[in-house]
Amino acid sequence: MFQRMLAGAVLCVLALGTAALAEDQNPTNPTGPLNAAETTFVKSIQADLTKRFPNPAAAVLAGYVRYTNVDDTGAISYADMHWDSDAKHPSQLWYSVSGELLGADFSMVTKPGTPRPQRWGIDPGRWTEFGAHVHYVAIDPKTHKKIYDRATSVKKFVAAGGDPNHPSAAALVKLGAVKSEKDVATVFLFPDIWDLIVWVKPNASGPFADKNPTVTAKM
């Protein structure tokens, strides 16, 4: 979701420099009234995803991988690494701390400067643009617990000998991000995308809003 992804992008900025956010285009209409096509889309998504992905275990079984901590919107995010979504296959799912399905991201791989998407009858102003970077989940060598919300720039990853289209832990070792390849649970490219968030959990602010007033990080 937007606030989650923005928070992740801020972490990237700290590690990558301010250029990481330079090309991002924020939504221009995240909370406006829904048109008829949007209403149909949201109802379909809410019914379908609630049935197929009711909890994190169902998401993991379907190939989604957790890569964030809970953010200030109450969401923990899981990605399936397939960034060209169709209406049945969101690129990301997000859950509350208690395991309740909150919503999903639908994305379209793009190039910087590409016009906003025209998909499913959704107002183009609902979409957000994000620049490419490399995410990874580390493992604490002492506790063996997973460490989320880790990222580096494509430029740095390539400079360390990594292939962003087929990322491996070896480049992260060369970067000094981890000491051993065994300390990496997963690494993946987050490409240039247009992204649409959709709340599955009813949201008085609207299904495309950044936050849901009924959801907190402690839920």
Q: Are residues 42 and 81 in the same domain?
A: yes
The pLDDT tens digits for 105-128 are 999 999 988 999 999 999 999 999
Q: Shortest CA distance to 130 belongs to which of 35, 7, 37?
A: 7
pTM of the predicted structure, to 2 decimals: 0.90
Q: Are residues 125 and 179 in the same domain?
A: no
Q: Are residues 154 and 217 in the same domain?
A: no
The pLDDT tens digits for 170-182 are 999 999 999 999 9
| Domain extent for 91 | 1-130+193-219
Per-residue burial over 142-176, b if 16 or more Cβ lie within 10 Å, else e, is: eeeeebbbbbbbbbbbeebebebeebebebbbebe
Q: Are residues 138 and 209 in the same domain?
A: no
Per the structure, the count of domains in the chain is 2
Query: Which amino acid belongs to residue 51?
Result: K
